[in-house]
Amino acid sequence: MQVLSHGDRIAEGQYRLHSRFRRAANFLGDAGLVTVVDPSIGAGPINIAIDRLDSDLCFPTLTVKTDCFVLGQTALKKNPGCLYRSVIRLQPRDSRTFLENLAVLGDCLRGDAPSGSMAFLLGRNAYHPLMSASFSQGCGTGCVC
């Protein structure tokens, strides 16, 4: 087994198996959640993508160290070149375009979101007035809820 990618939001520490699926295993620790995934799921901020995650493999623990991940007793070396970076860096000339298009993105999300999704948080929705009001109150002033 080898690491194909690992997320930049994975904190060092001890994790215990939380849940196991055919293509993913979730590990929970004091630092949060880490998910070990097969290549079909791929990179993400809290994902460790490995070249093969056999469905019969079930590691009870995950240890995240500076230079490696330890699944059960199997150490997998980190490769700095395979780090998934979740930060979006906008150049000053790009930020204006980004902000101009943010409203368009909101409209698309509200218009195409599946029923029951949390897209209603992007604007007032008659189907979820109590929940929207609750989020608005929790957010304080300036909330778009």
pLDDT (0 to 100) of residue 142:
47
Specify whether 16 is located in the same domain as 65: yes
pLDDT band for position 16 (50/70/90)? very high
The 3-state DSSP class for residue 130 equals: helix
Q: Which amino acid is at 119?
A: A
pLDDT (0 to 100) of residue 145:
38
How many structural domains compose the chain? Answer: 2
Mean pLDDT (the chain, rounded): 81
Specify whether 61 is located in the same domain as 103: no
CA dihedral 60, 62, 63, 64 (to 10 degrees): 180
Assigned domain for 33 exists: yes
Assigned domain for 133 exists: yes
C-alpha distances (whole Å) from 47 to each of 10, 80, 127 are: 8, 15, 35
Domain boundary among 50, 68, 84: 84
Assigned domain for 145 exists: no
Domain coverage including residue 131: 92-139
What CA–CA distance (Å, rounded) separates 78 from 135? Answer: 40
pTM value? 0.63
| Residue 127 or 66, more confident | 66
